[in-house]
Amino acid sequence: MSAAVPCVLFEDDHLLVVNKPPGWNTHAPSPYAGEGIYDWLRHRSPRWANLAIIHRLDKETSGVLVFSKSALANRELTRQFTARQVKKQYLLVADRPVPPAPLRFASHLVRDGDRYRSQSTGGSGTMAETVFQRAERMGDRTTVEAFPTTGRTHQIRVHAAAAGFPILGDPLYGGTPARRLHLHAASVTLRHPATKQVVVFRAPADWDREPAQALRGSFIDPKQTDAYRIIHGAADGWPGWYVDRLGRFLLSQGEGQLTGGQKAALERWMAGVSARGVYHKQRDRGVCSSAPEDVAPRRVFGEAAYGDVMVRENGLRYAVRFDQGYSIGLFLDQRDNRRRLLTGHIAGGLSAYPDGCKGIEVLNLFAYTCAFSVAAARAGARVTSVDLARKYLDWGRRHFEANQLEANAHDFLYGDAFDWLRLLAKRARRFNLVIVDPPTFSTSKTGGRFRAEADWPRLARAALAVLAPGGWLFASTNAARVEPGRFLDQLVAAAGEARRRVLDRHYAPQPPDFPICRAEPAHLKTVWLRIE
């Protein structure tokens, strides 16, 4: 799979330069938080496994961000930044008066809770200096160039506020609330670490683009993927509302009827991706007791979606349906994990198929419509898919056919996962990769009830019984009460109880089109473990 990453501005053997969108951290703020752009890139491709952070941008600041790819670049660029030889130009927008003459602002920055205070040069704290130059007036708004000669956290934001023109969209420092922070790293000028030539990397500011769509547009290659989340609740400024793009249709989800503002937004996004129709699904806590026709999405406007609606993901084709009840046939938050199966690249320095896919055996439990199976099969593995519903296995066969994969070359097993694990273990079947992504709650006639928060250790032990030495266990859950650290501890403990050792591990959070915040915490937890 050779998919482009739209945010990449420049790449050679030494440098990777990207245009970071607003709303994406430079790096993950904590071990189990969503990936920053650095983490996401480093774990995406083997050629980016050695990326190093040279400088940072605040989460809400957009623009040029430079990473090193080689030891030479890391050493040389660190020297240039430390010696203040790198020239950085920012653009900001203010809705307060800005003096016409250039302004040089120097002060000490002192941490004060979540923000910084500017003190006179005689005070304590870290010294910072910024030069401001008014660039353009647009009615009651002014674009200002900012040239920081130092690189302190929140420096430009603090200095702009102290100078009397806080940045639009920066209420933390007195700015007028707006849908984004109007601060953009427009250019970075430096000497190339290998050629020694002066190079300038530029990215134009786009103040009008909605932040949520700028984020998706930075990493979604539309030629490869047209199925992703457009709006993820409170993390994108719409609490309780979720919108997915599914090929030529949009699917809205929320607990109530659509508001006028939501309908207007859907029409805007519909036009932006040339969608044919929009559906809405009311989330119902009692969905398990509802008939499929009662919980299926309803058309809001545009064309109707009949039968299988084909979507693209990582270059593969999947069929989703709007007439099958609550589920449409594809869980979009597992897209990056399916990419890992497709490419074999799990994370920086970790490969699932270091010697190629020939002879690789994969077991996909709770396979649903076999989306994971298709990705593994496309990579060259032989896949056994297990699910409790025949109709989903049949759906999975259609997915194989849609991707020109011979379904008869793979196994589709109907029945309870625990029953099949016992039988496969008894037959001494061993798999190089076992995929375990169960529903939070399920019931079968033979296996009884399964509750993720209580039964994961039992499931992990059963899966390990059919995992070949040196194989990978892929374990994933969206159970809200299962904390990431506890989930990992359960899996490691299960390996210990089976007298097996964990050789490698990687925790994979949900993809960046499912951003997280305090009001919209992470739901998906995934662990990749290589077991001795």
Q: Is residue 324 part of a domain?
A: no
Same domain? For 345 and 452 the reply is: yes
Q: Is residue 215 part of a domain?
A: no
- With a CB cutoff of 8 Å and minimum separation 6, the contacts of 481 are 453
The pair of three-digit structure tokens given for residue 288, joined into one six-digit string: 């398990």
Same domain? For 168 and 277 the reply is: no
Domain count, the chain: 3
Same domain? For 286 and 371 the reply is: no
d(CA 432, CA 469): 8
Same domain? For 231 and 281 the reply is: yes
Domain boundary among 150, 170, 202: 202
- Per-residue pLDDT at 238 exceeds 60: yes
pLDDT band at residue 226, thresholds of 50, 70 and 90?
very high
Same domain? For 240 and 347 the reply is: no
Q: Is residue 325 part of a domain?
A: no
- With a CB cutoff of 8 Å and minimum separation 6, the contacts of 440 are 451, 452, 453, 477, 478, 479
d(CA 418, CA 170): 53
- Per-residue pLDDT at 294 exceeds 90: no
Phi-psi region of 470 (alpha: psi -120 to 50; beta: other; left: phi over 0): left
Question: pLDDT tens digits for 462-483?
Answer: 999 999 999 999 999 998 888 9
DSSP 47: G
The pair of three-digit structure tokens given for residue 189, joined into one six-digit string: 């000028």
Q: Is residue 213 part of a domain?
A: no
Same domain? For 248 and 162 the reply is: no
Same domain? For 374 and 451 the reply is: yes
Residue tagged active-site, from 13, 39, 58, 355: 58
Catalytic residue check, 58:
yes
Q: Structural domain of residue 399, as residue ranges?
A: 331-531
Domain boundary among 312, 347, 378: 312
Same domain? For 177 and 73 the reply is: yes
- Per-residue pLDDT at 517 exceeds 60: yes
The mean pLDDT value for 441-450 works out to 67
Same domain? For 81 and 171 the reply is: yes
| β-pairing verdict for 249-254 and 241-246 | antiparallel
d(CA 524, CA 479): 8
Same domain? For 275 and 341 the reply is: no
Average pLDDT over the chain, rounded to an integer:
93
pLDDT band at residue 499, thresholds of 50, 70 and 90?
very high
pLDDT band at residue 325, thresholds of 50, 70 and 90?
confident
Q: Is residue 129 part of a domain?
A: yes
Which of 489, 481, 478 has its CA nearest to residue 529? 489
The pLDDT assigned to 291 comes to 62
Which one-letter amino acid corresponds to residue 111? Answer: R
Q: What is the CATH number of the domain that holds 34?
A: 3.30.2350.10
Same domain? For 307 and 335 the reply is: no
Out of 45-54, 112-121, 343-352, pick the least confident.
Answer: 112-121
- Per-residue pLDDT at 290 exceeds 90: no
- With a CB cutoff of 8 Å and minimum separation 6, the contacts of 92 are 143, 144, 146, 156, 160, 167, 168, 182, 183, 184
pLDDT band at residue 283, thresholds of 50, 70 and 90?
confident
d(CA 54, CA 339): 28
CA torsion 442-445-446-448 (nearest 10°) is 40
Q: Is residue 1 part of a domain?
A: no
Q: Is residue 212 part of a domain?
A: no
Q: Is residue 209 part of a domain?
A: no
The mean pLDDT value for 15-21 works out to 98
The pLDDT assigned to 322 comes to 94
- Per-residue pLDDT at 444 exceeds 80: no
CA torsion 128-131-136-140 (nearest 10°) is 50
Question: pLDDT tens digits for 142-200?
Answer: 999 999 999 999 999 999 999 999 999 999 999 999 999 999 999 999 999 999 999 99
The mean pLDDT value for 15-19 works out to 98
* Alpha-carbon distances, residue 420 vs 287, 387, 389, 425 (angstroms): 28, 10, 14, 8
Alpha helices, DSSP H, located in 438-514: 452-464, 484-497
Question: pLDDT tens digits for 403-434?
Answer: 999 999 999 999 999 999 999 999 999 999 99
Same domain? For 400 and 472 the reply is: yes
Contact predicate 457/421, CB 8 Å: no
Higher pLDDT: 124 or 259? It is: 259
